[in-house]
Amino acid sequence: MTLTLNYSYRIYPDSKQEAMLDQWLEICRRSYNYALRELKDWIASRKCPVDRCSLESEYIMSAEYPFPSYHPQQNQLPKAKKVFPELAKVSSQVLQTNVRRLHDAWDFFRNRGFGFPRFKKYGQMKSLLFPQFRGNPLTGASPVLGVSPRRNWRGWHIKRPKVGKVQINLHRPIPNGFVIKQVRVIKKAKGWFAVISIQSDITLPKIETPFGHPLGLDVGLNSYLATSDSYLEKGRKFFKTEHRRLKVLQRRLSRKQKLSNNYEKARKKVEKQHNHIAFKRKDYQFKLAHKVCDMGDSIFMEDIDFRTMAKGFLGKHTLDAGFGQFRDILKYVCKVRGKYFGLVDHRGTSQTCPNCRAEVRKSLTDRFHVCQECGYGVDYFVDRDVASAQEICNRGIETTTLGLRGKETVCQVEVSGVMSLDNWRRGIPLWAEISRRESGSPRYTA
Ligand SMILES: [Zn+2]
């Protein structure tokens, strides 16, 4: 198994290179649209019933005309270069991956049944993929740690065919033992970026079974994150100032005359601000994911579909928080750091007492968990988010091998059901019991 990582760096093409890359994007966009047109025509020509005349509604393509799949279309590229000489300006590998991209989108559509590839409008093509590297495309002295990146990137270049050497801010070095596999150049409002895919033969131990200290996580709007160990991460509207500025910019944009120069300038500013917020959020989420990995070994989250959550009345805030993205990032960080990551059933986690598992109804305004059955949360405050994180942790333990460790003792008591209930009522939550055994501390009593 190989390990693939994507490192993203900022690049600084000079004005000539920038014009060139812009031109490439436009050529790629046109060839993408051309290939898509061919695909669509083929499909349309097969829609008409055999015994009807297709003159009126459908294109005529002979029945022998092969389906324009990836390889035929890719093989057409050299011929197309003769008809459209501008294609020759773009590196041929970039053109090939561009066609590949259309067929990836097509395969996605075939598998999922939605998301038919669309024509790209002017300016919608935003990335170029350079595959295959012979040798290292990066040149420069090894970066000096502790020196500001601005000084470090002086002298560092990334070399690509036809474009030549482009300045790159190598703010973190490529780790030893990794080989550069491909480079994707992306145009954003903030500037140009290179996402470098690096690969290594290092085998990461695949974490199949949970181990060590279990940790349940609950994400929400009141506190961004709550853990079963009562850690609360505040963070609602943590981009308040950024959003206020976005609003101002959007308002300015709406007052400009469409398609005027000033409109274009204002539009760029709005896009930049969107970029800024997205970068900041991602940075925050990565840091938080590492923090979580510091706190536990087996991490459990809900298997909730955040897209449905975003359709609710707090939709805008849910989208802003980017919970789905956080879950993906956490999963990735867990993999890299060798921690276990698992998902549990999300139904009713906030309405269940983590201590006695009784249903405790709460409305959205109830901030604390108070269980009348077992008294959990009566003497001291238990935040509702912490309670649901503990319930998530319970479920994670039960549905995996961690639960077997807990059961060894419980089973003896379970022979008489009443005793087992008493065990819970004494207030020894499963999660606390297991972490007690982990650390070897004395028995926990509520
Ligand atoms: Zn209870």
Mind listing the pLDDT tens digit for each residue in 273-306? Answer: 999 988 988 999 999 999 999 998 899 999 887 7
Residues 6+ apart with CB under 8 A from 140: 155, 156, 157, 170
Distance, CA 427 to ligand 1 centroid (Å)? 8
Which uninterrupted H or E stretch holds 279?
Answer: helix 261-295
Q: Which two tokens stand for residue 67?
A: 């389906």
pLDDT classification of 329: cutoffs 50, 70, 90: very high
Distance, CA 313 to ligand 1 centroid (Å)? 30
Mean pLDDT score of the chain, rounded to an integer?
81
180 strand-pairing partners = 198
Q: Which pLDDT belongs to residue 18?
A: 93
pLDDT classification of 255: cutoffs 50, 70, 90: very high
Q: Is-above-0.95 flag for pTM?
A: no
Note whether 220 and 384 are within 8 A (CB): no
> Percent of the chain, pLDDT > 90?
30
Distance, CA 378 to ligand 1 centroid (Å)? 10
The answer on pLDDT for 408 being more than 60 is: no
Coil, helix or strand for 401?
A: coil
The answer on pLDDT for 253 being more than 80 is: yes
Q: Which pLDDT belongs to residue 412?
A: 37
Note whether 162 and 174 are within 8 A (CB): no
Q: Which pLDDT belongs to residue 399?
A: 82
Distance, CA 426 to ligand 1 centroid (Å)? 10
The Cβ of residue 58 has, within 10 Å, a number of other Cβ atoms equal to 17
Q: Which of 132, 198, 194, 104 is nearest to 158 (CA)?
A: 194
Distance, CA 295 to ligand 1 centroid (Å)? 26
Q: Which of 336, 392, 395 is nearest to 207 (CA)?
A: 336
Residue 55 DSSP one-character state: T
The answer on pLDDT for 133 being more than 80 is: no
The b/e string for 28-46 (b: 16+ C-beta within 10 A; e otherwise) is bbbbbbbbbebbebbbebe
Rounded to whole angstroms, the Cα distance separating 393 from 16 reads 56
Q: Which pLDDT belongs to residue 272?
A: 93
Using one digit for the tens of pLDDT, what is the confidence trace for 12-62? 998 999 999 999 999 999 999 999 998 988 887 777 666 666 666 666 677
Distance, CA 371 to ligand 1 centroid (Å)? 5
Using one digit for the tens of pLDDT, what is the confidence trace for 56-90? 666 667 777 888 889 989 998 999 999 999 999 99
Average pLDDT of the residues in 262-271: 92
Q: Which pLDDT belongs to residue 406?
A: 46
Q: Which of 38, 116, 41, 47 is nearest to 70 (CA)?
A: 38
Rounded to whole angstroms, the Cα distance separating 222 from 387 reads 14
Distance, CA 85 to ligand 1 centroid (Å)? 74
Q: Are strands 3-12 and 164-169 parallel, antiparallel or unpaired?
A: antiparallel
Rounded to whole angstroms, the Cα distance separating 354 from 348 reads 11
**Cα–Cα–Cα angle for 268, 272, 275, nearest 5°?**
140
Distance, CA 387 to ligand 1 centroid (Å)? 10
Residues 6+ apart with CB under 8 A from 235: 223, 224, 225, 284, 321
Residue 256's alpha-carbon distances to 252, 264, 269, 351, in angstroms, are 7, 9, 13, 50
The answer on pLDDT for 241 being more than 90 is: no
Distance, CA 443 to ligand 1 centroid (Å)? 19
Give the distance, in angstroms, between the CA of residue 6 and the centroid of all CA atoms in the same chain.
Answer: 12
